[in-house]
A and B are shown apart, each in its own frame.
Chain A
Amino acid sequence: MSITEPSVSPAPAPAPGRVKSWRLLLANPLTVAAAVVLAVVVLAAILAPWIAPYGVNQIDVANALTPPSPAHWFGTDELGRDVFSRVLLAGSTSLTIAVTAVASALVLGLAVGVVAGYAGGWVDAALMRVVDVMFAFPVLLLALAIIAIFEPGMLTTIIAIGVVYTPIFARVARASTLSLRTSPFVQVSRTMGTPPASILVRHVLPNIGGPIVVQTSLSLAFAILSEAALSFLGLGIQPPAPSWGGMLFTAQGFLAQAWWMSVFPGAAIFVTALAFNLFGDGLRDGLDPRQRTIIEARQGQRRRERGLLTRRDTISREGQS
């Protein structure tokens, strides 16, 4: 996103220059923290089978319900299974489901939204009514209905979450496409006789990336929460396979005896969802042109206030481009 500044000298009173997206992201400590947490979570999920100190279903009744200790960082559950190992492995399942479901929702929703937004007319009207209908069902209820049709399990959970989040992507993609359709460069391309399919792939898709990336991060947070809720209800991942939601369901029976059984799996869901949400927010600030302008204006103002917007600053910006 760099804009080449004309090297006129002396530099005129500069309009607040475009700051690179990644610089905006790095400028926000919360976004950086969220990114680091996400990296750790993803890494832990990938490496889970190797770094888990115990087998997920390694039963050790003699050591059941022992509190956190050096041997068992997160304590043990009612069957003496290591809670830390189970939280790790459950994380890998949870992330797999969330990523697969959101990726499917993204592809499907993007296709529907871009076609609807670009085609307009009755195609748009028809597709958007379908999206409206899907929006009329609360997320978890729709997911439950889908699970009631098929057998509970990993694939069903992915389908349920994927279906539920498709309309959101469709709406975001349609809104962005609508505003692009009338933009001069698309109009020009159309007058030049570029076929609609190429316009969609070459011009529209690359330019609606921002809102879609933001929506993806936020949807991943909600997908993690949805999967946990479904597994908590016993309709997602089936025991004995570990899942954060399923572990919490078991923990409900041991609230008085073993706080660690409910605290750690819940904290894992919370931290992961929070990291995706904060990262999504940071992305929005970094990618949304309106937000960018506000942030840039503020940064400019702050710099002016500090009396730093001097020749040195202008030079350094020229050096960047």
Chain B
Amino acid sequence: MRIAPAQLLRFLGARLLSSAVVLLGVLIVVFALVHLVPGDPVRLALGTRYTPEAYDALRAASGLDRSLPEQFFSYIGHAVTGDLGVSFRNGQPVTTTLLQRLPATISLALVGLVVALLISVPAGVYSALHEGRVSDVIVRLTSQFGVSVPDFWLGLLLISIFSVTLGLLPASGYVAFADDPAGWLRQVTLPGLTVGLVAGAIMTRYIRAAVIDVASAGYIRTAVSKGLPRRVVVSRHIVRGALVPVLTIAGIQLATILGGVIVVEVVFAWPGLGRLVYDAVAARDYPLIQGAVLLVAVMFIVVNLIVDVLYAVVDPRIRAA
């Protein structure tokens, strides 16, 4: 592959810079979160456990007794080194708690993505190559169903069918993959299907559009008019051309899933980040909320950055733009 290094470096630099700017904005928003709370967040978090001593201790521990600029720079300084403060509830370091929960969410998201890809790639490509036919309309309508279905309802329906009625799969719970791969698979099937079916529906639409876009490009017409068999045009030209947009869609969808599994985790009692955020919001544990929101946003930014960079490496046209 021919890569002009200077151009690529310039693109990478610009892209990194804009990610850094967004990251700074994210940090500001996350920092502001606890300061936007009407009333005293420490007082709210303590609730019935309030004593003047506990109040002063928590306030000092979370740094809320210092001036605002001081707090901000200290927050950023600590966040960069991976220190996200301590939980209002149990005094545990937020980073430790987040890292404990991350594997469950990542495993669920990856299973969801695999399910989504297994559905959306064949469906999207097939639908695009049969644009306007009845089969295309059916695929489009089905994907619309998937986009419109509330994921938690889909989860409940799957539990009703596969756990309650058929008794085939567990309705909730979690086993780490490292401890018991077979048990993990049984546990992850229903939540993974829930996440994957919804994500797959969204991806089908994008993949269909991407393939149609590629199929209408000039070089495809050239390939067809020079007499290449349809099979060759589809496999060598269209599918390869659509690979880059499909990868982009998969990357973005992975980031979306990572941030969007909250409700599914609650339905299936899956001990991931989403479930953690949910509990943290209910408990008004602001450092934990801040940490989780920051982590998910950073994952989103990083995944997007990786996707863009890969895109630029693969497709020289992006760099020139």
State A148–B256 Cα separation when bound (angstroms).
21
- How many chain A residues touch B (CB < 8 A): the figure is 45
User: Size range of the interface on B?
Assistant: 35 or more
State A276–B147 Cα separation when bound (angstroms).
11
Closest to A229 in B: B263
Using known A-B contacts A129-B25, A274-B144, determine if residue A229 contacts B150 with beta carbons closer than 8 Å.
Answer: yes
Cβ contact within 8 Å between A232 and B152: yes
- Decide if A27 is an interface residue (CB 8 Å cutoff): no
Cβ contact within 8 Å between B160 and A144: no
Across the interface, which residues of A come within 8 angstroms of B149, CB to CB?
A: 270, 273
Cβ contact within 8 Å between B262 and A141: yes
Cβ contact within 8 Å between B277 and A141: yes
Using known A-B contacts A148-B281, A262-B156, A277-B147, determine if residue A140 contacts B25 with beta carbons closer than 8 Å.
Answer: no
Fill in one digit per residue for B262-296: 1 if any A CB lies within 8 Å of its CB, else 0.
Answer: 11001100000000011011101010010011001
Tell me the A250-264 residues at the B interface (CB within 8 Å).
251-252, 255-256, 259, 262-263
Cβ contact within 8 Å between B263 and A232: yes
Cβ contact within 8 Å between B26 and A137: yes
CB distance from B302 to the nearest CB of A (A): 10
Q: Which of B25, B132, B153, B262 is the one whose CB lies under 8 Å from A262?
A: B153
Using known A-B contacts A233-B263, A252-B267, determine if residue A273 contacts B33 with beta carbons closer than 8 Å.
Answer: no
State A257–B148 Cα separation when bound (angstroms).
27
Closest to A276 in B: B148
Q: How many A-B residue pairs have CB under 8 A?
A: 137
Across the interface, which residues of A come within 8 angstroms of B25, CB to CB?
A: 129-130, 132-133, 136
State A147–B282 Cα separation when bound (angstroms).
10
Cβ contact within 8 Å between B156 and A251: yes
Tell me the B110-132 residues at the A interface (CB within 8 Å).
132
Q: Which of B28, B145, B296 is the one whose CB lies under 8 Å from A274?
A: B145
- Decide if B141 is an interface residue (CB 8 Å cutoff): yes
Cβ contact within 8 Å between A140 and B156: no
Across the interface, which residues of B come within 8 angstroms of A129, CB to CB?
A: 21-22, 25
State A277–B148 Cα separation when bound (angstroms).
7
State A11–B163 Cα separation when bound (angstroms).
68
CB distance from A222 to the nearest CB of B (A): 9
CB distance from A65 to the nearest CB of B (A): 15
Cβ contact within 8 Å between A138 and B156: no
- Decide if B314 is an interface residue (CB 8 Å cutoff): no
CB distance from B124 to the nearest CB of A (A): 16
Closest to A274 in B: B148
* Chain A residues close to B by CB (< 8 Å): 30, 129-130, 132-133, 136-142, 144-145, 147-150, 221, 225, 228-229, 232-235, 245, 248, 251-252, 255-256, 259, 262-263, 266, 269-270, 273-274, 276-278, 281, 298
8 extra A-B contacts, CB within 8 A, seeds A133-B22, A137-B293: A141-B293, A144-B278, A145-B293, A149-B36, A229-B152, A252-B267, A266-B150, A277-B148
Q: What are 16 A-B pairs at a CB distance below 8 A?
A: A129-B21, A136-B22, A137-B26, A138-B259, A141-B293, A148-B33, A149-B38, A225-B148, A232-B263, A232-B266, A234-B282, A235-B281, A255-B156, A273-B149, A274-B145, A276-B148
